[in-house]
């Protein structure tokens, strides 16, 4: 029974890791090298996401300003692969971005980025969120108002 449970958990991890495959930000979510222990992270799948029509929700937030430029560069590279996007800039830096990628396996894929450190009245942090599922853009907008 333990072997079966281990195999199932490994399969779930492999599927989740594959979700952002091909995106520069995937290394952030996987905690690669220097990224480890520098983020507050969330990884949600399954039942909690059903009401939102999503199958995967991953987020990272960091207040380590030494990482901001590298995170922004990764997001900007992924922005070149989008089918649609909405962005805002402050002093030439990406302040926020909402990116829509080509669906994969009949699931929509979204990436959200926000660099709150660019405004003095907001927290000094950067947040990146990856969402995947059957929710349309209109549904997500209603959910996250």
Q: Where are the beta strands (DSSP E) in the chain?
A: 40-45, 54-62, 84-90, 93-104, 107-115, 126-133
pTM: predicted TM-score of the whole model, two decimal places: 0.82
8 A C-beta contact, residue 133 and residue 49: yes
8 A C-beta contact, residue 99 and residue 45: no
Rounded Cα gap, residues 7 and 1, in angstroms: 10
pLDDT of residue 130: 95
**What pLDDT digit, counting tens, does each position of 67-85 carry?**
899 999 999 999 999 999 9
**What pLDDT digit, counting tens, does each position of 109-125 carry?**
999 999 999 999 999 99
- How does 41-62 read in b/e, with b if 16+ C-beta sit within 10 Å? eeebbeeebeebebbbbbbbbb
Q: Is the pLDDT of residue 15 over 90?
A: no
């Amino acid at each position: 029974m333990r072997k079966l449970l281990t195999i199932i958990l490994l399969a779930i991890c492999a599927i989740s890791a594959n979700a952002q495959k091909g995106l520069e930000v995937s290394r952030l979510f996987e905690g690669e090298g220097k990224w480890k222990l520098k983020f507050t992270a969330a990884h949600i799948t399954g039942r909690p996401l059903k009401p939102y029509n999503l199958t995967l929700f991953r987020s990272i937030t960091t207040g380590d300003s030494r990482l901001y430029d590298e995170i922004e560069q990764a997001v900007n590279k992924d922005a070149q692969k989008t089918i649609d996007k909405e962005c805002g800039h402050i002093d030439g830096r990406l302040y926020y971005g909402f990116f829509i990628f080509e669906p994969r396996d009949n699931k929509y894929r979204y990436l959200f980025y926000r660099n709150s450190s660019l405004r003095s009245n907001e927290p000094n942090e950067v947040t990146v969120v990856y969402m995947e599922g059957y929710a349309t853009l209109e549904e997500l907008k209603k959910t996250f108002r």
